Chain A
């Protein structure tokens, strides 16, 4: 069973870069069956898609964040990562990593999800 786990600092200073890693277990990140994504949720608010990556390295970003986001994949470690630059308090959120199975019909949403990690932007 595919499982995802986020890791990274829980506190980041304003103007710095937020860096998180998602470790995939129970399957290969190099599987052609999945896109891998990041989604965030500010405290008490809704969900926002940040971006997605395919094992080949192809990336897709939310236009509202595109100038600050980089998502990468490390197939040797079965991990993918998120970097968000120039953070402000508005970037304080729970960050989730997730997978999207692209071979099922009809096309599927995001499943599975990691448990999420809270990142606070504060000096």
Chain B
């Protein structure tokens, strides 16, 4: 099983600043990597797929990069609505298996 590890567990950033979240895979997942945002009491929302493609309706301040085992989600200028938990997910062997990282909580500094 491919293990996804996110860092840091919690990230404190001020509004307007840049946030950088990391995700590492235990083996290569090529570019089969998605990022989700989850707010309290809500379902996750797809932000990025294919490691760097923004999903429909996702603002340009969200960007993804990386391939293989190292991935990054960058939020260029944090808005109040961006403070949430973010998960990465690999789907390199879809539909046989999918695994999520443990999440990064992005909180207001």
Interface residues of A, Cβ cutoff 8 Å to B: 35, 37, 46-49, 52, 54, 60, 62-63, 96, 100, 102, 104, 106-111, 113-116
Contact = CB atoms under 8 A, between A and B. Distances in A.
Interface stretch (B16-24, B72-80, B95-103): B95-103
A52 B44 contact: no
Contact of B43 (A35, A46, A52, A114): A114
Nearest to B100: A47
A64 B44 CA distance: 22
Nearest to A115: B43
A45 B89 CA distance: 15
Contact of B95 (A35, A48, A96, A104): A35
Contact of A106 (B31, B45, B95): B31
22 contacts: A35-B94, A46-B101, A46-B103, A47-B87, A47-B103, A49-B97, A49-B98, A49-B99, A52-B95, A60-B97, A96-B43, A100-B91, A102-B94, A107-B94, A108-B34, A108-B49, A108-B50, A109-B36, A110-B44, A110-B89, A113-B44, A115-B43
A109 B91 contact: yes
Nearest to A96: B43
B44 to A, nearest CB: 6
B55 interface: yes
Given A47-B87, A48-B100, A107 B32 contact: yes
A49 B55 contact: no
B44 A47 contact: yes
